[in-house]
Amino acid sequence: MLDEYLPDVKRPIFHQQLMNTRRAARLNRRYFLRKSALGVAAVTVLPGHILGLNGATPPSEKLNLGFIGVAGRGGANLDGCAAENVVALCDVDRARLQKAQERFPKAKGYQDFRRMMDETARELDAVVVSTPDHTHAVALMRAIKERKHVYSEKPLAHSIQEIRALRAAARQYKVATQLGNQGHSSDSIRRFHQMIQSGFIGPVREIHAFCGSYYSKVAELDRAKETMPVPETLDWDLWLGPAPWRPYNSCYLPGKWRGWLQFGTGVIGDWVCHVVDPVFWALDLGSPTALQAEVLDYDPKLHAETCPPGTRITYEFAAKGNRPAVKLVWYDGKMKPPTPPEMENEKLPGIGAVVVGDKGKIVYGSHGAGSCRVIPDAQMDAYRELEKTLPPNPIAKSPGHYAEWLRACKGGPQAGSHFDYGGPLTEIALLGVIAFRYPGTRLQWDSARMRFTNHAEANRHLVAEYRQGWKL
């Protein structure tokens, strides 16, 4: 029965509504989407030629979306989903919210996502979260518990415990999920995957992944102690969300929060989900068994608050199937990777990785193995010849990162960077954030039990602590 999936609608009223054609169409749409969320039955995605004129999706098949965070990455995510129905917009800064509402005047506007969910949950099918790292989990969990499909900016969460809770909730409530590492949907990451699977560079035992960005805020620590007037349009208390209270200071906003560990996760949290994604996927890395950090100019007092100026973190991944054990070294800030001798008179990209196999090496750039190539050039020429003989790539071409997720929300196949993929990828970054608090210490990691087996103090960083009034 259709009405059993609409518990908030009383049955007599429901049947009266069915008498109205236009209302019935809306409810049938809701039934279609609710079935997807509950995993009740498979839903066929209709081909474009019967969806509407010129292949456009008719209004009855569009998703009702809510957006938490509407500027910066939030603005880009709005752009990516703008063809759907934008029903609700939320941002703690009224000025940013107003600009988004000017673009989507029919959307309801909120500063508090909890109020947005209270008032619009029945209308929404899915929610996009583009807030600073420390509020990802609380916003995502609220939406998931309302059985809304969710898209999250990376990193997925601010702690390992939050990642595990979000993954479990997404499975429990059967919602479609996607992490915002857009390169996972690129053609280049698929080409890299095929390069590895072809065996051209042989078994991979070592990876050097890097990002030269610098997020340390040590120079601003003294200034951060100053209390400044809160901008008129900003609700500072809501921006802090579950984080401990501290006075407002312009050194945190906008965007600069990434370098403050109470709110962000540094360069490693910002970039691992892009840079490590290709090897994580192609080599099926899973969770590391141990990791150890080397930190430039480490100061335990300063770097409890903000990121070091440079880190080199070595991860150990156990052998799996036919793949040997892998060492992955992450470099950021002023810690630089070695340039392979095959790149004579060349420089490494500012963001990317060098993948070392027994028979060759691959270098790729930032997002989704952009510009991946075998080095030296003669070896790349040889690979191009081999590539002509390879069977078609078994990994289907992506319709686009947002399109994957929207299709999944409508009952199609799950998106490529769903939380059970993107969550473990994010954990690599967050483990690194813990490791650089204890430089020189080899931390032994038991992923199944979610604990370091040799360092009790490090374990306290696995769980997020929320101030009163906030919960997951």
CA-to-CA distance for 170 and 419, rounded, in angstroms? 8
Q: Is 8 a residue whose pLDDT tops 60? A: no
Cβ atoms < 10 Å from Cβ of 165: 18
Q: Is 11 a residue whose pLDDT tops 80? A: no
Q: What is the mean pLDDT of residues 269-293?
A: 98
Instruction: Write the CA distances from 324 to 64, 193, 207, integer angstroms.
Output: 46, 17, 13
- Amino acid found at 133: D
Average pLDDT, the chain: 89
The answer for 465, left when phi > 0, alpha when psi is -120 to 50, beta otherwise, is beta
- Amino acid found at 165: A
Are residues 351 and 212 in contact, defined by beta-carbon separation less than 8 angstroms?
A: yes
Residue 28: its H or E element: helix 21-38
Report pLDDT for 249.
96
Instruction: Write the CA distances from 12 to 18, 19, 29, 410, 448, integer angstroms.
Output: 10, 11, 19, 28, 49
Q: Is 5 a residue whose pLDDT tops 70? A: no
Instruction: Write the CA distances from 447 to 160, 161, 252, 427, 429, integer angstroms.
Output: 10, 11, 33, 10, 14
Alpha helices in 230-289 (DSSP H): 236-240, 266-275, 277-282
Report pLDDT for 58.
55
Report pLDDT for 122.
96
- Label the pairing between strands 177-179 and 149-152: parallel
Tens-digit pLDDT profile for residues 335-392: 999 999 999 889 999 999 999 999 999 999 988 777 899 999 999 999 999 999 999 9
Tens-digit pLDDT profile for residues 85-104: 999 999 999 999 999 999 99
CA-to-CA distance for 203 and 200, rounded, in angstroms? 9
Report pLDDT for 423.
98
Cis peptide before 254 (omega within 30 of 0): yes
Q: Kindly indicate the confidence band of residue 47, based on its pLDDT and cuts at 50, 70 and 90.
A: very low
Q: What is the mean pLDDT of residues 70-92?
A: 97
**DSSP letter at 162?**
H
Residues in the chain: 472
Tens-digit pLDDT profile for residues 325-336: 999 999 999 999
CA-to-CA distance for 128 and 410, rounded, in angstroms? 15
Q: What is the mean pLDDT of residues 140-167?
A: 98
State whether residue 228 is helix, strand or coil.
coil
Are residues 188 and 370 in contact, defined by beta-carbon separation less than 8 angstroms?
A: yes
CA-to-CA distance for 443 and 455, rounded, in angstroms? 7
Q: Kindly indicate the confidence band of residue 49, based on its pLDDT and cuts at 50, 70 and 90.
A: very low
Q: What is the mean pLDDT of residues 255-266?
A: 97
Are residues 157 and 133 in contact, defined by beta-carbon separation less than 8 angstroms?
A: yes
